[in-house]
């Protein structure tokens, strides 16, 4: 959950507009029954200091709730701006931190409809409301009296006497105004607002177009085309087809969790190509949902907007308050990794082509062949069969493994809540209470929504329905993890790949970040983008620890632990296929920066993508992980725009921190280092500058050589 003003001012002003077009036709009557009885606006009741009423949310109440909540938030902000007392930290900054709770509650429900339960009816509301929320945000940032008060606190003497976290809060709040148009005047001020409103519409349309293509393009195939597929995958594909009214057939949905394993194991080359083209053509089908024109307009508007603020390009503005600081710093790291990855891809393709030739397949390796022949190379080089590994990766057991790690490192214990005691928005969602293992003290709740379904966006993500902060008395965190695993047949365990297991741990790392917070103010929960992925990426390393492997990675039929020989082969292959993994990711990250540093006037995104990748000497057997027309990280909002490189920046920190654990006396479960991990890297969120926080943990800055070693790439001086 994001506190609309104080908690996530930056997101509220410039990120994806998840809910707001033109002003409402008439003021909202806050005394009406439609407002007073609106479940989405109501304070949360029930156990655990109140929980969202997910079982009572009705879509026809959403528009009224959003309009009313925005009006309430504006009234709160206006009271702060009109305070007759001289501006102080308490009556200005803290007052803003306490505002927006009504809208925060509504946004939690909105987020569920947007990400977990989208429907055509919801998307109509989303499209309609997008510019209204943009206008709402603009009203706040362009409230001159309010900004004058914030600036007075920022520039005044009182700030010198504040605690370090309070000083950081003042600077963050001030920057959220100054960096988002508060200093503009006249026509520039009006144009800035117009751009924000239009971008809100474009971001929403882009995201909905991608989701529509994911739902609308499903590949069906027959029994004679099942070659190479595992029994569990076949059963899941049959269920997916039956759910769509095609009983007796098999379905590959247009999501990564369905596409990737199919391309890895299917021996039907023509069908692999069809599935591959369908997936990588999302948003790029030349129809009414084609996103290329939207990309061009988004880039042009972003560029125009930051030039109003005096920046040369969007990336320069975006990275100013990130760890990288400048596009040049980000590009230097990306180019070094991409160059090494590109060379490794040549070796990987040669190995794959040799196997294809030896088997007499008569093919030249194409993008839809990469995963398939890489799996054959894996078996040949490491005697490692991904399907064999999956038999030891049961979703339920992996969840137990995550709970074990959380207990050892974070002193957390997870207990399932009684069924029906906490409302959920879908029958697949389960909820656990989180306590301190040593004391039994309550920490919060953890929600898990693991399975793919129509209306749910693809991928995996974490969110918080309620963050921790002491100023509002929020010490009961509500964290959630969401995945898109293919649900198996009734009674069958869900088996996942090693990569998916790492992603599961990764997203759980975000949840642990939420649950560990001890910050005083909502805004301090909002992390620096190229830093916040670090903590979650670090948690991936615990999947391959002996403690997890020996106790939780057990065969789904025999219950026997993974044999030592298989463990050894997995660890030996840890850097296998890193050319592919890093090249496809870094290519997307490089394109992101390219888009946001060039002059976008007259851009043809389709042509620009081809030309830019050619200039990078992109291997022809690989495509970007996220091609431009479905690159939702950067075009369905602004959370990752000019910042997708952040995963790589976080990888540097991750690799360096992992080496610290690897070399510690107690290894990855070293008590002293775990305490430092929680104290300096998880609990403080954004109350401490990320660079300072990392130095407090490690005793020095991170070393880039560590990440190159983690990829198995050569380390150069």
Which residues belong to the active site?
507
Beta bridge partners of 561: 554
User: Considering only CA atoms, which of 645, 565, 584 is closest in space to residue 371?
Assistant: 584
Q: What's CA 554's distance to the chain center, in Å?
A: 29
Q: What's CA 151's distance to the chain center, in Å?
A: 32
Residue owning tokens 């009556």:
91
Q: Yes or no: say if 559 and 614 are a contact pair by the CB < 8 Å rule.
A: no
Q: Please count the other Cβ atoms lying within 10 Å of the Cβ belonging to residue 563.
A: 11
Beta bridge partners of 447: 431, 480
Helix, coil or strand: residue 464? strand
CB within 8 Å of 513: residues ≥ 6 apart: 527, 532, 535, 536, 682, 685
Segments of 391-437 assigned E as strands: 412-416, 430-436
Quote the Cα angle for 315-656-660, to 5°: 155
Tokens describing residue 535: 């903590």
Using a 10 angstrom Cβ sphere, with 0-12 exposed, 13-18 middle and 19 or more buried, the burial of residue 598 is middle
Helix, coil or strand: residue 284? coil
Residue owning tokens 């194991």:
265
CB within 8 Å of 363: residues ≥ 6 apart: 269, 356, 369
CB within 8 Å of 460: residues ≥ 6 apart: 481, 482, 483, 484, 503, 504, 506, 507
Using a 10 angstrom Cβ sphere, with 0-12 exposed, 13-18 middle and 19 or more buried, the burial of residue 461 is middle
**Using the 8-state DSSP alphabet, how is residue 459 labeled?**
S
Roughly what angle, to the nearest 10 degrees, separates helices 498-516 and 395-410? 40
Q: Yes or no: say if 143 and 43 are a contact pair by the CB < 8 Å rule.
A: no
278: left (phi > 0), else alpha (psi -120 to 50), else beta?
alpha
Q: What's CA 57's distance to the chain center, in Å?
A: 24
Phi, psi of 578 (to 5 degrees): -70, -20
CB within 8 Å of 101: residues ≥ 6 apart: 3, 472
Cα–Cα dist 365/270, whole Å: 13
């Amino acid at each position: 959950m994001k506190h609309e003003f104080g908690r996530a001012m930056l997101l509220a002003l410039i990120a994806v507009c998840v809910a707001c077009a033109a002003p409402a036709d008439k003021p909202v009557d806050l005394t009406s029954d439609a407002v007073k009885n609106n479940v989405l606006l109501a304070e949360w009741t029930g156990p655990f200091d109140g929980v969202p009423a997910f079982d009572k949310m009705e879509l026809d109440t959403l528009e009224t709730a959003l309009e009313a909540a925005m009006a309430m938030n504006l009234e709160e902000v206006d009271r702060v701006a009109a305070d007759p007392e001289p501006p102080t930290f308490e009556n200005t900054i803290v007052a803003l931190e306490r505002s927006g709770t009504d809208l925060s509650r509504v946004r939690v429900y909105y987020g569920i409809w947007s990400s977990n339960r989208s429907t055509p009816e919801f998307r109509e509301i989303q499209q309609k409301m997008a510019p209204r929320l943009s206008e709402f945000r603009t009203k706040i940032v362009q409230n001159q009296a309010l900004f004058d008060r914030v600036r007075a606190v920022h520039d005044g003497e009182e700030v010198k006497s504040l605690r370090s976290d309070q000083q950081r809060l003042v600077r963050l709040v001030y920057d959220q105004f100054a960096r988002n148009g508060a200093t503009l005047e006249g026509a520039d001020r009006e144009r800035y607002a117009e751009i924000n409103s239009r971008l809100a519409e474009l971001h929403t349309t882009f995201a909905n177009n991608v989701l529509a293509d994911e739902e609308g393009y499903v590949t069906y195939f027959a029994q004679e085309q099942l070659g190479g597929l595992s029994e569990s995958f076949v059963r899941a594909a049959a269920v997916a087809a039956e759910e769509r009214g095609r009983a007796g057939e098999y379905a590959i949905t247009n999501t990564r969790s369905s596409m990737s394993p199919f391309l890895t194991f299917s021996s039907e080359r023509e069908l692999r190509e069809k599935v591959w083209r369908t997936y990588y053509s999302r948003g790029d089908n030349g129809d009414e949902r084609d996103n290329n024109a939207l990309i061009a307009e988004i880039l042009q508007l972003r560029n125009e907007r930051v030039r109003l603020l005096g920046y040369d390009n969007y990336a320069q503005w975006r990275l100013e308050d990130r760890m990288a600081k400048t596009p040049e710093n980000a590009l230097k790291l990306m180019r070094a990794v991409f160059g090494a990855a590109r060379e490794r891809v040549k070796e990987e393709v040669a190995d794959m082509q040799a196997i294809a030739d030896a088997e007499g397949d008569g093919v030249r390796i194409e993008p839809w062949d990469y995963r398939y022949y890489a799996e054959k190379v894996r078996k040949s080089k490491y005697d490692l069969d991904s399907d064999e590994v999956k038999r030891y990766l049961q979703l339920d057991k992996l969840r137990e493994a995550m709970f074990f790690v959380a207990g050892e490192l974070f002193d957390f214990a997870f207990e399932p809540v009684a069924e029906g005691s906490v409302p959920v928005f879908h029958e697949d969602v389960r909820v656990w209470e989180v306590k301190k293992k040593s004391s039994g003290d309550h920490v919060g709740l953890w929600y898990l929504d693991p399975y793919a379904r129509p209306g749910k966006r693809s991928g995996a993500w974490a969110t918080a329905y309620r963050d921790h902060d002491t100023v509002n008395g929020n010490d009961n965190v509500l964290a959630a993890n969401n995945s898109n695993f293919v649900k198996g047949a009734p009674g069958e365990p869900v088996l996942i790949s090693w990569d998916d297991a790492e992603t599961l741990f990764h997203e759980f790392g975000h949840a642990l970040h939420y649950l560990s917070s001890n910050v005083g103010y909502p805004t301090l929960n909002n992390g620096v983008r190229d830093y916040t992925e670090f903590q979650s990426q670090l948690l991936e390393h615990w999947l391959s620890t002996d403690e997890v492997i020996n106790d939780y990675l057990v065969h789904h039929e025999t219950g026997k632990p993974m044999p030592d020989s298989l463990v050894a082969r997995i660890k030996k292959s840890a850097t296998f296929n890193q050319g592919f993994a890093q090249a496809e990711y870094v290519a997307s990250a490089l394109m992101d920066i390219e888009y946001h540093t060039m002059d976008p006037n007259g851009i043809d995104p389709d042509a620009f993508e081809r030309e830019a990748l050619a200039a990078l000497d992109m291997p022809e057997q690989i495509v970007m992980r996220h091609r431009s027309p479905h690159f939702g990280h950067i075009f369905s909002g602004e959370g990752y725009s000019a910042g997708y490189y952040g995963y790589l920046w976080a990888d540097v920190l991750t690799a360096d921190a992992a080496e610290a654990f690897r070399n510690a006396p107690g290894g990855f479960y070293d008590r002293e280092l775990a305490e430092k991990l929680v104290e300096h890297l998880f609990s403080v969120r954004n109350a401490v500058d990320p660079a300072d926080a990392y130095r407090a943990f490690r005793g020095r800055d991170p070393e880039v050589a560590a990440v190159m070693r983690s990829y198995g790439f050569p380390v150069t001086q």
